[in-house]
């Protein structure tokens, strides 16, 4: 019984539509009784027809909207994919640009140093809290020896303290075991640059009478036969003459960010000077 009940309403609507069409086709030849019947049928079926028309338009709009949303979702997914791809390309471009800038800095430094040098990459840092060392990918087979100075584009990094066939360990300037003869560029005052851990050094044994100011450049003096004269150690970040004793308390910040090294130069010959 249920299937018949479901089919009854569409059959009635279809019959009504057929009747309306037939009545309309009579035109001017229709009898008055047919006109009355036509009016009655239209009166009874018009709401249903209007409702069917509204439902049809609504279903059509929903269907078209569905396909529009599906297409829009696919387009958004494609655009998002393109944006991510362009973002990755931009990151790679910036990395390549920064790498090129660092290499240009090393090339300019190589022109200033009259000694032969070899390029190396920093591949690891010493995890110890007490020492500040880095491991590079050049070693004994590439002519790297203990005691050779290591440079970066901004200035001096440290010196080689251990060598292996294809690697070498670099003691950084800020290591507490690091020490080198240095001088203040502006006044030529000399002292010993001593590592203090972290990212700082001190310029020790400078008399209180000496003229040292914040912002002064600290250079390698060339004495000691390790670092070529005139290369930059760093900059004076604080100078205090009010401490006890006969020496000033001078803090020096290295010119190179020693915690973010990537490429360096190893100078293969020492005891030669460059123009400061």
Domain boundaries, the chain: 1-112, 117-267
Q: Looking at domain 117-267, what is its CATH homologous superfamily? A: Rod shape-determining protein MreC, domain 1 (2.40.10.340)
Identify the pLDDT of residue 274.
Answer: 42
State the pLDDT at residue 210. Answer: 94
C-beta of residue 206 within 8 angstroms of C-beta of residue 250 = yes
pLDDT at 126: 80
* Cβ density class 130-162: b for 16+ within 10 Å, e for less: ebbbbbbebbeebebeeebbbbbbebbbbbbbe
In the prediction, which pLDDT does 262 show? 85
Whether pTM > 0.75 for this model: the answer is no
Identify the DSSP state of 29. G
Q: Are 175 and 132 in contact (CB under 8 A)?
A: yes
Are the C-beta atoms of 157 and 170 separated by less than 8 Å? yes
| Alpha-carbon Rg for the chain in angstroms | 43
What distance in Å separates the CA atoms of residue 14 and residue 255, rounded to the nearest whole number?
92
pLDDT at 19: 60
Residues 82-116: pLDDT tens digits?
677 666 666 665 555 555 555 556 566 665 666 77
Task: Quote the pLDDT of residue 220.
Answer: 93
pLDDT at 208: 92
pLDDT of residue 156: 92
The per-residue pLDDT for 158 is 94
Mean pLDDT, consecutive 10-residue segments, the chain of 276 residues?
Answer: 53 58 52 57 59 65 64 73 67 56 59 74 79 89 91 90 93 93 94 90 94 94 86 94 91 91 82 43
What mean pLDDT, rounded, does the chain reach? 77
| pLDDT at position 236 | 96
């Amino acid at each position: 019984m249920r299937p018949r009940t479901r089919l009854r309403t569409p059959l009635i609507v279809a019959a009504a539509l057929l009747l309306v069409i037939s009545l309309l086709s009579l035109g001017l030849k229709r009898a008055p009784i047919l006109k009355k019947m036509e009016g009655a049928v239209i009166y009874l079926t018009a709401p249903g027809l209007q409702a069917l028309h509204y439902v049809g338009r609504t279903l059509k709009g929903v269907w078209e909207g569905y396909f529009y949303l599906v297409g829009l979702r696919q387009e958004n997914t494609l655009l998002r994919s393109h944006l991510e791809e362009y973002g990755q390309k931009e990151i790679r471009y910036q990395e390549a640009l920064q790498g090129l800038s660092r290499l240009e800095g090393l090339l300019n430094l190589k022109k200033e140093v009259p000694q032969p040098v070899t390029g190396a990459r920093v591949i690891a840092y010493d995890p110890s809290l007490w020492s500040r060392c880095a491991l590079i990918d050049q070693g004994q087979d590439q002519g790297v020896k203990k005691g050779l100075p290591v440079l970066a584009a901004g200035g001096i990094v440290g010196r080689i303290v251990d060598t292996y066939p294809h690697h070498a360990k670099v003691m950084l300037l800020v290591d507490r075991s690091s020490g080198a003869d240095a001088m203040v560029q502006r006044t030529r005052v000399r002292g010993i640059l001593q590592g203090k851990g972290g990212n700082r050094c001190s310029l020790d044994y400078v008399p209180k009478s000496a003229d040292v100011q914040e912002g002064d450049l600290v250079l390698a003096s060339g004495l000691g036969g390790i670092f070529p004269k005139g290369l930059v150690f760093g900059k004076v970040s604080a100078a205090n003459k009010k401490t006890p004793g006969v020496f000033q308390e001078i803090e020096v910040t290295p010119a190179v960010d020693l915690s973010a090294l990537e490429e360096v130069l190893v100078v293969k010959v020492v005891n030669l000077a460059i123009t400061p």
